[in-house]
Structure 1
Amino acid sequence: MLKSGIHGNACCSTCHHHLGEWVEASPAVQKFLPFGRTLTFRSFTHAPGSELHFDCHCGSLWMITKNTAMSVMIRNEVFSCFVFYGVLLVIKMYVIAIITGQVRLRKKAFANPEDALRHGGLQYHREDPYVERCKRAHINDLENILPFLFLGAIYSLTGPSLMAARLHFLVFFMSRVLHSVAYLLALRAPTRSLAYIVAQIPCVSMALQILTSVAAYA
């Protein structure tokens, strides 16, 4: 039987024995859990087809609901911190996209002829320097924020301290905000370049820590 730490609905796929809401997790269960730690699951109603499978130390195959696993991730302070800054960064990308669209309308510089015809004629099917600047700011966000979202999610599962993780996420977020402001307002160089470089530091740090965590399994 399992000895040490999970809360939640779980059952043995061999005998379908229900383990109850308060089951303690064995080392075998801990291997399944992210962060390599004993975590607390909340009780959820079992839904057919929603199981995650892992081996018990006694040789039986055990199951636990995906809803339960998601509950653990959301209740993980580091992952929740990552989600907070990740969502802010996605919102920031939407803001840059909206700004780009509004600048196009104000400058009457449309990328597609049908849009130009709708707003005055084909003479407005043209490029504008400031519209192109906004586009570059948006593209730069895509090139940097999407990798951060991947790295940050994996990094959150490696068991970093909340303080260290928050520092990584906050530095990246603030640097990207400064980078966008510097791009859109054409601030004096090297403001934009410095913001870009500073944002890469937490990304490189997270990547190295992830590789260190998984190198033994490669």
Structure 2
Amino acid sequence: MANKSDITSILSIENPQFSTYLIVASLLVLKMCFLTLLTIFQRQKNKVFISEEDTKVFPGTVGANPDVERVRRAFQNDLENIPAFLFISFAYLFVGVPNWVVHFIFYLFLIARTLHSFVYAVYVIPQPARAICFIVGFFIIGYLSGHVLVYGVYSGYLGK
């Protein structure tokens, strides 16, 4: 079992792995905020709103629009992937891998998710661009989960 000083050193700003986690987590959240703003922009641009009371303030109609829905689907995809990454990547900090591995995996996930949003909601590029970005992020979450699971099983049960 990790002692308090181990946990304190892992969760220290002086730990480059934790610093990378903080940077990537912040950028992923900001990216999601950007998609929220892009949704608002698309609603305003296309004059399509989510509820009747919105049309009383902004001229337009209630309903769906392909541009708005595309951004909403990109955001939904983020909601299905980014929280899982934030959780499992935090746990991965306790596995004890070299710094370069954490930096590479975390930044690769950030790049994959950013490109996914870009090719899905900002500048639409035909498949397989979006699928490749999704698969990279998906495999990263799978790898991190598997590594943390093996580490936990070995350290908790087999390592004694």
Q: One fold, TM greater than 0.5? A: yes
Where does residue 202 of structure 1 map in the other structure? 140
Secondary structure of the residue aligned to 2:92 is helix
TM-score using structure 2 length: 0.89
- Match for 1:164 among 78, 101, 104? 101
Where does residue 183 of structure 1 map in the other structure? 120
Task: Give ranges in structure 2 of 5+ residues lacking alignment.
Answer: none
Change (3 A) 1:71 1:171: closer
* Mapping 1:148-159, distance limit 5 Å: 148-159=85-96
Change (3 A) 1:88 1:157: same
- Match for 1:116 among 36, 49, 55? 55
Change (3 A) 1:199 1:72: closer
* Mapped pair 1:31 → 2:6: no
After TM superposition, give the deviation of residue 201 of structure 1 in Å. 2.1
CA contact (8 A) 1:79 1:157 kept: no
Where does residue 212 of structure 1 map in the other structure? 150
Letter in 1 for 2:118: V
Q: Which runs of 4+ in 1 moved over 6 A?
A: none
- Match for 1:146 among 69, 83, 101? 83
Task: Identify, as 1 or 2, the structure richer in helix.
Answer: 2
TM-score using structure 1 length: 0.66
Secondary structure of the residue aligned to 1:202 is helix
Letter in 2 for 1:148: F
Task: Give ranges in structure 1 of 5+ residues lacking alignment.
Answer: 1-29, 40-67
CA contact (8 A) 2:24 2:110 kept: yes
Q: Distance in 1 between matches of 2:47 and 2:19?
A: 42
Change (3 A) 1:78 1:116: same
- The number of residue pairs the alignment matches comes to 155
Change (3 A) 1:130 1:72: closer
Where does residue 8 of structure 1 map in the other structure? none
Identical amino acids, percent of aligned pairs: 29
Change (3 A) 1:148 1:91: same
Change (3 A) 1:71 1:152: closer
Q: Distance in 2 between matches of 1:202 and 1:213?
A: 16
CA contact (8 A) 1:104 1:110 kept: yes
Larger-gyration structure (1/2): 1
